[in-house]
Structure 1
Amino acid sequence: MSRLLEPLTLRGTTFAHRAWVSPMCQYSCDPDTAPGVPHDWHLVHLGSLAVGGAALVVTEAAAVVPEGRITPHDAGLWNEEQAAAWARIVAFVHSQGAAAGVQLAHAGRKASTHRPWSPVQGSVPAQEGGWVTVGPSALAHGDLAVPAALDGAGLRRVVEAFAAAARRAEQAGFDVVELHAAHGYLLHQFLSPLSNHRTDAYGGDLAGRSRLLLEVLEAVRAVWPQDKPVFVRLSTSDWVEGGWDVEDSIELARQLAARGADLVDASSGGNDPGQRIPVGPGYQVPNAGRVRREAGVPVAAVGLILEPAQAEQVLVSGEADAVFLGRPLLTDPRWPQRAALALHDVRAVAWPPQYVRATREDVPLVQPRG
C-alpha cells in the first residue's frame, strides 16, 4: 500500500487515507439576507470533493463572530442558523465516506475587505456594510484600515467565541475542528512580532504572543469531544526578517500538543505585505518536516503539492503525516481517485457506486460515516 493511501488515526477518528481538502474561502454567502450562512454553492463545492474521494473535507474559514469575517460574504459559525446549514453539508460529506472538518477563524485586522474578484479592493467602508476591525495593536495591514487594539474584555470575547463555535460544530456533526492561526489573521497577528506590539501579558516574548492562541485551544478542547481531533493551522514563517519563523513554530507546536492539539497544518505567510515567498512546488514542505521532526507532533503539509507521486514522496520521506490539497482539487475534484488509480490501490479511496466503472474493478461501495 502507498503511504498516501494508508489510513491515519488521530484520537478516535480514523481517516481513510491522507489526501485531504484544504480550507478554501469561497466568499459566497449572502450578507444581506443570510449573513454567514452556507447554501447550495457550499454543498455542491464541498460535496463534489467528497464524491471525488477525499478522506477529509475541511470547510473554508468559518468566522466565530460577524466582525471576524474576511469579507461580508464569508461563512460563519456564530449562530444556530449557520450550524443547521452546515449540518446539511456535513451529512452529505459523511454519506460519501469522508470525514468533515471546519476551520474556525477570526480575520482580525484583515477583516471587512472586498472579495478578491471585486473591482474595488481594500477595506469595505461602513456605509457599504463594513465594520471597525480589531487586532493585537493599532497597526494596519498594508493599506487596510487601522484596527482597534483589543482590550482585556475583547480578548475574553474572542476566546469565548471560539469555544461557542466549537460547540456548534459538534452540533452540526463535524469530526474535526481546525483553529486558523495562519495567513495573517487574528491569532497569527498575535503570534508575530511584526503585528503584535503589545506590552501586556499578550505581547512581548514568545510566551506572551502565544498566550491568546493557547487560551483559545484550551477553551475549544474543553468543549470539543475528547475522541475528536483538533488541528491548528500555523504560518511557519512570515517570510520577513524579524518576523515569526520556523523555530518559533517548532516551540509553539510543542506547547499546542501539550494542550491537546492533535496535528499542525503547516502553511506560511500572509501577515506582512513585505513578505518574499519562494513559491514553487512543495515550497512549504521543508518547514512542515522540521516541525514534525523537531516538535514530535503530527503534521500536514500544504502548498503546491500537485501530483500523486509528489504527495507520496512527501509522506514517504517523513516530511508530513498527511497532505492538504487546494488548487489541485479545484482543477480536478477527483484527484484522490486519480491518485488511487495511479498508485494502483483503488480500494483505498471511496468510490460512489455510480462511478465504480471508472476503476475497472468491483470495489466496495461507499460506506456512510456516522
Structure 2
Amino acid sequence: MDNTNQKKALINSEIALFLRGLIIGKVLTLMVIGGLLWWLLKPNLLSRSNVDSSNQSSNIISSTGSTFQTVADVPNASFNYGGSTAWASIRQLVDSQIQSVRPELQLRYVDPVNGSPGSSSGIRMLLDGKLDFAQSSRPLTDEEQAIAKERGFTLKEHPVGKDGIAVVVNPSLKVSGLTVDQLQQIYLGKITNWNQIGGPNLPITPLSQRPEDADTVIFSSNSELKGQALGSNVQYVYSTTEAVRQLSKTPGGVYYASARSVVFQCSVKALPLGRTSGQIIPPYREPMVSPEQCPRRRNQLNTQAIKNGSYPIIANLSVIIKQNKGREQQIGDAYANLLLTDQGQKAIQQAGFVGVQ
C-alpha cells in the first residue's frame, strides 16, 4: 500500500514538473515571437510616430497664423526708406527680423540731407523721389497730398501700429497733469506760466521740433487750431534727444513726443494727459517709477489706455505709400503687409507699441 502511494506521488510530481516546463516553454516561445514581431514592425511604428509628431508640429505652426514667410509679392531688390524717429525701435527690431526671414528684400534707412529726421522730412523725401516709402507717426497734410497730385500720383496712409503722444517736463516740476486744450494753449503762447494751470510761479519754456520737421502733432487734422503759428516763446530743437537733454536743465520746460520715445527716460517726467481735467490718464503704467528709481526700474508704456482709446492723443504709425503703380507702390504695399502679419504685429508690440489687429 505504501509502495502504491509512493508511486502515485512520484507520478504526480513528474506530471507537475512536465506541466511547469511546458508553461515556461510556452512563455519563452511567446516572448521570442513577440520580440521578433516588435523587431519586424519597429520601422513602421517609428514611421507612424514620426508622422503623428509631424502632424502635431504642423498644427502648432498653422495655429500661429500668418508670418513674414507667408507674404506674397515681396520684391527682390534694395529699397530706400526713412521718416519718423518714433519708428526707431521698429527699424531696429522688426525690420531686422523681416530681412532675416526674407533676405531677398534689402531695406536701407536714409537720413535727410537738410533738416532733422522725422515724419515730415520722410514724407518730403518720398515726394521728391529720394525714398521708396516713408514711415510716419502723424497724418498726411492737405499740402502733402496736393504736392503728390501735382506730380502725378497720390499718397496712401497704411496704419500698422499705434503710439501715444506723451508730454514730458523737468522732474522737479510740481504739476499733476494737463488737458489737451491746456497743452495746445501752451504751444500757442496763450498760457505762459505754470501758475495759470495750478503749478508754481514759473515761466513755461515750450520745446518743439519745427513744424516743417515735426515727427508728431498735437493739433489734429480737424482741429480749429490747425495751421496756427506757434507762440514766440517756443524754442525749437533738432530732435527728441536734444529736447530731453534741455528739459533736464530747464525747470519750466515742456516737450511732447512719441510716448515710446520718452516714457522710459530717466531724466524727464511724463505728465498725465486728459480730454478734461477730471479724466487725466498717464502715458505710463501706474504706479509711476520716480527718477530716483531709474534706471534700476523704468516706467512702462500704458498700452492698455492706447489700445482702448481712453488716452487722449493717439498717433497712428503708418507706412506712407506712393500710389503710382510702380516699384515704390509694390515695396510699400509689401512692407505694410509684412508688418500686418501676426508675426509682424507681435514684433511691433515687442518694440513697445500697440498693434492694430
Q: TM-score, normalised on structure 1?
A: 0.23
Between Structure 1 and Structure 2, which shows a larger proportion of helix residues? 2
* TM-score after normalising by structure 2: 0.23
The structure with the largest alpha-carbon Rg is 2
